[in-house]
Amino acid sequence: MINDYAALKVGDMVAVAKHGSWNITNQGIYVVSKVNKVKVTVQRIGDNYERVFSVRKRRELNGFDDVYHSAFLETVEEQTARENQRRREVEVKNMWREAEGAATRRNLTQLKDLVEKLSQVTV
């Protein structure tokens, strides 16, 4: 999460994320288009959709979101790291399901292969 929105410069790449009920959802990659002491304006790369964020409150300025589910700015690296972490967690969960299925079918060769794959994965 970016701590000082006022330190952003026009042209910087940032990511927008939003706190959800269970996890943080990614809302895309944006480019900073305007910065002053009060607010930061960002534009989405694909369609130039603009969003405005408060420098003081460090959240999006609109009347629709509450404080607990408001959007915020973060670095692109943080967003990609979270996406990669989520992807690895899904892979491990799927491997565990396959391993449980192999165990119920008593397929030892498939179970050994899946255990080897699971030991190589780092989460």
pLDDT at 31: 97
pLDDT at 66: 67
Token pair for 21: 């009920």
Count other C-beta atoms under 10 Å from residue 34's C-beta: 13
pLDDT at 78: 93
Residue 84 makes CB contacts below 8 A (sequence gap 6+) with: none
pLDDT at 65: 58
Task: Tell me the pLDDT of the chain (123 aa) as tens digits.
Answer: 788 888 999 999 999 998 887 888 899 999 999 999 999 999 999 899 999 999 998 888 876 656 677 889 999 999 999 999 999 899 889 988 988 888 888 888 888 888 888 888 765
Nearest to 33 by CA among 59, 52, 57, 47: 52
Token pair for 103: 């165990």
Give the DSSP letter string of 53-71. EETTT-SB--SSS-STT-E
114: alpha, beta or left, given left = phi > 0 and alpha = psi -120 to 50?
A: alpha
H helices of the chain, in order, are 76-105, 108-120
